[in-house]
Amino acid sequence: MIKQDTTTMYQEFLEARQENRKLLSILIDPDKFNTATILGFLKQIPQETTHIFVGGSTVVNGATEAVVAALKFQTQKPILLFPGDVSQITGKADGLLFLSLLSGNNPEYLIGQHIQAIPKLRGSGLAILSTGYVLIDGGNESAVARVTGTEPMSQQNIQAIVDTAKAGELLGMKLIYLEAGSGAKIPVSAKIITAVKNEINIPLIVGGGIRTEAQKQTAYKAGANMVVMGTQFEGRSTKV
Interface residues toward ligand 1GP, by CB under 6 A? 27, 179, 182-184, 207-210, 228-232
Euclidean distance between CA atoms 108 and 134, whole angstroms: 15
3-state secondary structure of 189: coil
Angle CA(138)–CA(143)–CA(148) in degrees, nearest 5? Answer: 105
Q: Which is nearer to ligand 1GP, 85 or 179 (CB)?
A: 179
Residue type, 179: E
Is residue 44 a contact partner of residue 16, using CB atoms and an 8 Å limit?
Answer: no
CB 51 within 8 A of CB 25: yes
Tell me the DSSP string of 7-68.
Answer: HHHHHHHHHHHHHTPPEEEEEE-GGG--GGGHHHHHHHS-TT--EEEE--SS--TTHHHHHH
* 113 versus 170: smaller Cβ distance to ligand 1GP: 113
In the complex with ligand 1GP, which residue's Cβ is closer, 168 or 230?
Answer: 230
Closer residue to ligand 1GP (CB): 209 or 223: 209
d(CA 111, CA 199): 24
Residue in the shown chain whose Cβ atom is closest to ligand 1GP: 207
Taking the complex as a whole, the smallest distance from the CB of residue 73 to ligand 1GP amounts, in Å, to 24
Return the number of the residue (10 or 177) whose C-beta is nearest ligand 1GP. 177
